[in-house]
Structure 1
Amino acid sequence: MSNELIINSTQNGCRIALLKDKKLSEFHQDDDGHQFNVGDIYLGQVKKVVPGLNAAFVDIGYEKDAFLHYLDLGPQLQSLNKCTKQILSGKMAGKNLNGFKRLPDINKLGKMNQVLSKNQRVLVQVVKEPISTKGPRLSSELSIAGRYIVLVPFSDSVSVSKKIADSAERKRLLRLINSIRPENFGIIIRTVAQGKDVAELDRDLTSLVDKWSKGMEKLKKVKPNEKVIGEMNRANSILRDVLNESFDSIVVDEKALYHDVRDFIREIAPDKEKITKLYNGKAKIFEAYGIEKQLKGLFGQSVSIDGGGYLIIEHTEALHVIDVNSGNKSNAEDNQESTALKVNLDAAKEIARQLRLRDMGGIIVIDFIDMRKIENKKALFSKMKDEMKTDRSKYTILPLSKFGLMQITRQRVRPELNIKTREVCPSCNGTGKVTASILVTDQIEKDVEHIMTKQNEKKLTISLHPYLYAYYTKGLFSRQWKWYFKYKRWINVVEDSSMAILEYNFINSLGEEIAL
């Protein structure tokens, strides 16, 4: 299986697509103006303690106060508060925790007003981004994630990912980490650490301790509500979590971002630096790799299944509902039960993909096609578990109920990704009345003549929907060639499937859109 990461730089950040065998597996949008990413650590200020909820509302600069529950404080809250207070008062450097005397753990069954008070300053970490009308969800059990390990301040424990099943390997990793673990820092060993030597683990640990040290240096100067330690950008965090031996290429279409990604890969996986490439093609990168077309087909209400049939996906505030339909193409099997099983198995694969693509979280209810045989229901349950194994979010899958429904809960830490696939008609702007569509070519001709003769553009590019692109470029003596003979200059024509059918843009030599 080939794995490719395609990164498209945009005006506000970047779009990231993970392709497996050329099929879109994950899609992320990284907005430069987006704050409060999962993993960010802030110096928060307690605004209100609510005994009835056993929680506190903390101000970290968002329009709504963030939510901090007692169970998310972590056992070492008193040690964290002591360290924070000493650093803010200048009594402690905080670069490392050597010699720091930890305080006893807080009571697991205690009350929030026993440990926090109004206007108190406390270090908190974002564990769930603002979603809908809710502010961020916080934790005071801080952790800093690296490529192979996760660093946990004010702890002495070392634990290994449950996905590493080999007992000999678990013992080896525990022995190595215990030999290099700094004082007062706990460590969680990630799955990708399997088979790695002590030098690689030590390099990752050193970078995490350095990140903590810089954060504590910054803490001396920050004001309440300001960020102390920031999570890396979305592109690098995805690389950190998913980069492995199966990756074939990482392609970036913007030079500065390319250097940033390459430098990060050189740091975490030097042997993979050579697979990072800068895209220089004429077409947009998402067009060249067929991603735009896949996005249009995968984020609609109705999604096709490979073997025939389709899914209907509905989103509500409380849950997501997915209905599986056989359609009129799923008739290859001998009987109804076999047809239902085949469509359901194909649907399970697509549903697991859709959950990752849209980052759907909370409660997901799936209405599969009814099956009578117990063994078929078990086969479907097993297939769903297999397809979800690669999902990085925490999830729980329940077997089919007597109503034929499967329930899945999936951790939601950021808003669900929603891409509009319905286009507003560019001619009528949604009014329902359109000027004769055949006139669009006449309008393009007039605009081209105006730009080439009146504005005297030396280099012109036109972005068009694939249908209009074909109209101007196909044929032995195409309309594009007629323009060349008429204006004595070549006019580039680029197809862009993200545009509506009657939409077009003119772009000058500087890459700027020409307003007419």
Structure 2
Amino acid sequence: MSNELVVDVQPKEVSIAILENKRLVELQKEARNISFSVGDIYLGKVKKLMPGLNAAFVDVGYEKDAFLHYLDLGAQFNSCAKFVKQSLSDRKRILSISKFNTLPDIDKEGTVSDILKVGQEVLVQIAKEPISSKGPRLTAEISFAGRFLVLIPFADKVSVSQKIKSSEEKARLKQLIQSIKPKNFGVIVRTVAENKRVAELDNELKTLVKCWEDSLLKLQKAKTPSLIFEETGRTVGVIRDIFNTSFESIHVNEETVFQQIYNYVSLIAPERKDIVKLYKGDLPIFDHFAITKQIKSSFGKTVSFKSGAYLIIEHTEALHVIDVNSGNRSKSTSDQESNAIDVNMYAAEEIARQLRLRDMGGIIVIDYIDMQDPENRQKLYDRMKELMAADRAKHNILPLSKFGLMQITRQRVRPALDINTNEDCPTCFGKGTIRPSILFTDRLEDKIAYMVNKLKIKNFYLHVHPFIAAFINQGFFSLKWQWKCKYTFHFKLIPDQSLAFLEYKFYNKEKEEIDLKEEIEIK
């Protein structure tokens, strides 16, 4: 299986697409000014204790107070709290965690009122981003994630991933990390560390310790609430978590982000740094890699998948519901049971892809087509477990109930990605009436004349729907060439699949959009 990662950097957001054999399986979008991402560390202040929930609400600067449960304080919370208090009381001296005298672990069965007080300053990390009407969820067990290791201050324990099966390799890694880690730091050895050399692990451990030391410098000057440590951008984070030998290429359309990814890949896999490529084409990068069309067909309420069969996907506050329908599918056999298992098996493939693609979390209920044969029900359950094995999010799948329903719980740390595939009319803006379509190219020419003659902009890009671009380009002396000869030779016509049929956008040579909607209204 060949994997590709395509990164589309726009002024307001970064979109990351993961392709498996050219098929879109994951899509992540991140606003460029985002805050409160998973992994960010804040100095917060306890605002309210909730003994009934055994939890506290903490002010970290978000519009709603964040939630911190007693079980998320971590066994070493007393040590961390003492360290933070001493650091804030003496801002001129930076404490060394290796020389710090740790305190006993907190009681697993204790209560939040015994540990926290209103107004107390606490060091916390975002465990779940704000979702719907809820604020962020926090943990006080601080950690710094790398590709091979996870560093946990105050823990002083080494754990090795259970997915490493070799007992000899587990013992080697544990002994190795014990010998090189500083005192009062705990380390979790990740699966990808298997068979790695000492130098690689030591180098990453030093990098993670440096992240902790940099955080201490910020902590010394911090006032609550404030950001102490910012997790690496989601693009680098995705590469850190999934990068492996199956990746053939990573394409980026912006120089700065390209350099960040190139530097990171050079650090973790120097021999493979050349797979990171800067895309310089005129077409939007998602159009070039046929991702835009897949997004349009894969999101929305109805998703078709095989021979007329389709899914209906509904999202609610409490859960996600997926209904499987055979539609107008032509049955290959007259046997209803065979047809049902056939559709359900194809549906399982698409559902497993949709869960990753939309990053759906929480409770998912799937209404498959009813099957009477217990063997077929077991076969579908086994197939679903096999397809979900590649999903990085923690999940649990229950067998089909007697009503034909399958229940899945899937880890939710971010809001589900929901892209509206319906398009507003770009010419009437929802009013219901438009100018004659035959005059559309005349209006485009008016806009070009306005750009060149009034705004004095001669270098620009005109993005239109691919069908419109084909019409403008047709013929020996096409409309495009007529406009070039009449106005300027320095503009480019770009077919853009993300635009509606009669929609257009102008961009300057720096790829910044030139908004001419006001001109539309005036005329």
CA distance, structure 2, for counterparts of residue 274 and residue 97 of structure 1: 39
Indicate conservation of the 8 Å contact 2:458/2:490, yes or no.
Answer: no
- Residue in 2 aligned with 1:63? 63
Structure 2 residue 38 is the aligned partner of structure 1 residue 5:
no
Shift in Å at residue 48 of structure 1? Answer: 0.9
Partner of 2:380: 380
Find out whether 1:122 has 2:122 as its counterpart. Answer: yes
| Distance in 2 (alpha carbons) for counterparts of 1:94 and 1:389 | 45
Deviation (angstroms), 1:341: 1.4
Paired amino acid for 1:53: L
Show the 5 A alignment for 1:389-408. Answer: 389-408=389-408
Distance in 2 (CA, whole Å) between partners of 1:184 and 1:513 is 52
Does 312-321 or 101-110 show the bigger shift? 101-110
Map of 2:165 onto structure 1:
165
- CA 1:488–1:276: 2 relative to 1, 3 Å: closer
Q: Distance in 2 between matches of 1:53 and 1:512?
A: 49
Shift of 1:486: 4.8
Q: Which residue does the alignment assign to 2:420?
A: 420
Deviations 1:232-259 (A, max 9, x none): 1111111110111111111111111111
Cα deviation 1:343-372 (Å, max 9, x = unaligned): 211111111111111111111000111111
Is the Cα–Cα contact under 8 Å of residues 151 and 205 in structure 1 kept in the other structure?
Answer: yes
Residue 452 of structure 1 and its aligned partner are, at CA, apart by 4.9
Asked whether the equivalents of residues 448 and 487 of structure 2 are also in contact (C-alpha less than 8 Å), the reply is no
Q: Give, in whole Å, the separation in 1 of the partners of 2:354 and 2:497.
A: 21
Helix, strand or coil: the match of 2:237?
A: helix
Which runs of no fewer than 5 residues in structure 1 stay unpaired?
Answer: none
Equivalent positions of 1:158-197 (< 5 A) are 158-197=158-197
- Residues in 2 aligned to 1:425 and 1:75: alpha-carbon distance in whole angstroms: 56
- Which SS does the other structure have where 1:210 is aligned? helix
Structure 1 counterpart of 2:167, which letter?
A: S
Give 1:382 shift: 1.1
CA displacement at 1:401 relative to structure 2:
0.5
Which 5+ residue runs of structure 2 have no aligned equivalent?
Answer: none
**SS of structure 1 residue aligned to 2:119:** coil
Using a 3 Å threshold, how does the CA distance of structure 1 residues 229 and 449 change in structure 2: closer, same or farther? closer
1:209 aligned partner: 209
Shift of 1:210: 0.8
- Aligned residue type for 1:70: Y
Preserved contact between residue 91 and residue 221 of structure 2 (Cα < 8 Å): no
Among all aligned residue pairs of Structure 1 and Structure 2, give the percentage whose two residues are the same amino acid: 52
| 2:197 paired with 1:229 | no
Q: What is the Cα deviation at residue 6 of structure 1?
A: 0.9
Q: Secondary structure at the match of 2:505?
A: strand
1:6-155 to 2 correspondences below 5 Å = 6-90=6-90, 96-155=96-155
1:370 aligned onto 2:373: no
**What is the rounded CA distance, in whole Å, between the counterparts of 2:262 and 2:481 in structure 1?**
41
Task: Report the equivalent of 1:359.
Answer: 359
Give the SS at the match of 1:82.
Answer: helix
| Distance across 2 between alignment mates of 1:507 and 1:126 | 38
**Shift of residue 476 of structure 1?**
4.6
Whether the 8 Å CA contact 1:253–1:280 is kept in 2: the answer is yes
- 1:22-44 residue CA offsets vs partner (Å, 9 max, x unmatched): 11111111212211111111111
The whole-number CA distance in structure 2 between the counterparts of 1:257 and 1:95 is: 35
Distance 2:436 2:301 in 1: 29
Query: 8 Å contact 1:307–1:346 — kept in the other structure?
Result: no
1:346 corresponds in structure 2 to 346
**Which amino acid in the other structure matches residue 152 of structure 1?**
I
Q: Identify if the C-alpha distance between structure 1 residues 92 and 194 changes in structure 2 by more than 3 Å, giving closer, same or farther.
A: farther
Aligned to 1:156: 156
Q: Is the 8 A contact 2:445 2:483 kept in 1?
A: no
Q: Whole-Å Cα distance in 2 between the matches of residues 453 and 91 of structure 1?
A: 61
Instruction: State whether residues 87 and 95 of structure 2, in contact with CA within 8 Å, keep that contact through their aligned partners in structure 1.
Output: no
SS at 2:431's partner residue? coil
Aligned length: 516
How far has the Cα of 1:449 moved from its partner?
A: 4.3
Question: Aligned letter for 1:437?
Answer: S
Aligned to 2:502: 502
Quickly say closer, same or farther: Cα 1:492–1:62, change in 2 above 3 A.
Answer: same
Cα RMSD over matched residues? 2.0
Task: Using the TM superposition, name which of 272-281 and 168-177 deviates more.
Answer: 168-177
Opposite residue 69 of structure 1, the aligned amino acid is: H
Conserved? CA contact 1:9–1:253, under 8 Å: yes
Question: Per the alignment, do residues 101 and 449 of structure 1 end up closer, same or farther by CA in structure 2, a change over 3 Å counting?
Answer: closer
Q: CA deviation at 1:84?
A: 1.0
Query: What is the deviation of 1:287?
Result: 1.2
Give the deviation of 1:441 after TM superposition: 2.4
Give, in angstroms, the shift of residue 119 of structure 1.
Answer: 0.4
Measure the CA separation in 1 of the matches of 2:488 and 2:98.
Answer: 74
> How far apart are the structure 2 equivalents of 1:493 and 1:470?
10
Please list the CA deviations of residues 260-297 of structure 1 after superposition, one character each: whole Å capped at 9, or x if unmatched.
Answer: 22112222222221111111111111111111111111
Q: Please say which of residues 207-216 and 264-273 is displaced more in the overlay.
A: 264-273
Instruction: Return the alpha-carbon distance in structure 1 between the equivalents of residues 446 and 365 of structure 2.
Output: 53
SS at match of 1:380: helix
Provide the C-alpha distance between the structure 2 equivalents of 1:360 and 1:136, rounded to a whole number of angstroms.
17
Larger mean CA deviation between 58-67 and 96-105 belongs to 96-105
Q: Which moved more, 1:203-212 or 1:450-459?
A: 450-459
Structure 1 CA distance, aligned partners of 2:95 and 2:267? 22
Offset, 1:166: 2.7
Kept in 2, the 8 Å contact 1:308–1:343? The answer is no
CA distance in 1, matches of 2:456, 2:69: 65
CA apart distance, 1:454:
5.9
Classify 1:310/1:86 alpha carbon distance in 2 versus 1 (closer, same or farther; 3 Å). same
The residue aligned with 2:493 is 493
Stretch deviating more after TM superposition (99-108 or 60-69): 99-108
Say whether residues 1:254 and 2:237 are aligned partners.
no
The separation in 1 between residues aligned to 2:156 and 2:280, in whole angstroms, is 49
Deviations 1:433-466 (A, max 9, x none): 3333333223223333444566665334321112
What letter is aligned with 2:237? S
**Would you say the 8 A contact 1:98–1:184 is kept in 2?**
yes
In 1, are the aligned partners of 2:41 and 2:228 still within 8 Å (CA)? yes
- Please tell me whether residue 409 in structure 1 is matched to residue 409 in structure 2: yes
CA distance in 2, matches of 1:92, 1:389: 50
Does the C-alpha gap of structure 1 residues 117 and 451 become closer, same or farther in structure 2, counting only changes over 3 Å? closer
Give the aligned residue type for 1:224.
Answer: T
Structure 1 contact 483–491 (Cα < 8 Å) conserved:
no
Q: Match of 2:281?
A: 281
Q: 1:202 to 1:434 in 2, by over 3 A?
A: same
SS of equivalent residue, structure 2 residue 314: strand
Give the distance between the partners of 2:454 and 2:100, measured in 1 at CA: 75
Give the distance between the partners of 1:108 and 1:167, measured in 2 at CA: 30
In the aligned structure 2, how far is the partner of 1:97 from the partner of 1:481? 69
Q: TM-score, normalised by structure 1?
A: 0.95
Secondary structure (helix, strand or coil) at the match of 1:352 reads helix
Report the residue type matching 2:52 in the other structure. G
* Partners of 2:94 and 2:220 within 8 A in 1: no
Q: Deviations over 1:127-166 (max 9, x none)?
A: 0111111111111111111111111111122222222223
Contact 1:480–1:491, Cα closer than 8 Å, also in 2: no
Aligned equivalents of 2:408, 2:446: Cα separation in 1 = 56
